Amino acid sequence: MPSPIAHGSTVFLARAMLGEEMPRDVRGPIIWGMLLFASVAPDFDIPINLIRSGDAFGAHGSYSHSLLLAPIFGVAFLCAIKLIWREANARKVFLIGAGLYALHVLMDLMTHDSRGVSLFWPIMPERIACPAWLFVGVEHSDWKRIDLHLLTIVTESVFAAFVFFVARYIAGIRRGHRAYA
């Protein structure tokens, strides 16, 4: 599964898609934090699994990695954002919350040599693995493989840079000009 580097980089894209001026007071950093939380929310199965079974990664990628949970998360995300930012566009905020959740699931789906994700849990609890991959992924079972960890950091940093520049381009289009630098 990708690390928080790749998942967290999607926050820049979400911010560009929001297109609205975020509050410049204390609410701004809180909203950024909520966007970051939304980008990694499916991985909260790790502490849940640790508490339930003592094995943090045994069921990782199963029940919380379902596209069917994305709209439910989107509603919860919208409610949380609206508590502190009433002026936010509800439709955009819902789509961004659901989109970040779903994008996380799809990114995990596209990880090399993974056991897959339960894409349509609870209707179809079986794991689905994608034959095409975009990410090397974090090697949870072999922490001594420094070479794989370095490869993950490099490839995901390149992905994050790409996402950052795409987000800047989108933001520039929304402002009426291109923003390359």
148-163 pLDDT, tens digit per residue, is 889 989 999 999 999 9
Look up the pTM and report it: 0.89
Query: Looking at the domain assignment, is residue 155 inside a domain?
Result: yes
CA atoms of 167 and 160, how far apart (whole Å): 10
Residue whose C-alpha is closest to residue 42's, from 68, 13, 16: 68
Query: Looking at the domain assignment, is residue 180 inside a domain?
Result: no
Q: How many domains does the chain have?
A: 1
Element (H, E) at 160: helix 146-175
Alpha helices, H only, 63-145: 70-84, 90-109
CA atoms of 61 and 171, how far apart (whole Å): 32
Query: Looking at the domain assignment, is residue 9 inside a domain?
Result: yes
Which residue shows structure tokens 């919380």? 64
Query: Looking at the domain assignment, is residue 181 inside a domain?
Result: no
* Structural domain span for residue 124: 4-175
pLDDT score of 25 more than 90: yes
Query: Looking at the domain assignment, is residue 13 inside a domain?
Result: yes
Query: Looking at the domain assignment, is residue 127 inside a domain?
Result: yes
In tens, the pLDDT along 27-85 reads 999 999 999 999 999 999 989 889 999 988 888 788 999 999 999 999 999 999 999 99
Query: Looking at the domain assignment, is residue 30 inside a domain?
Result: yes
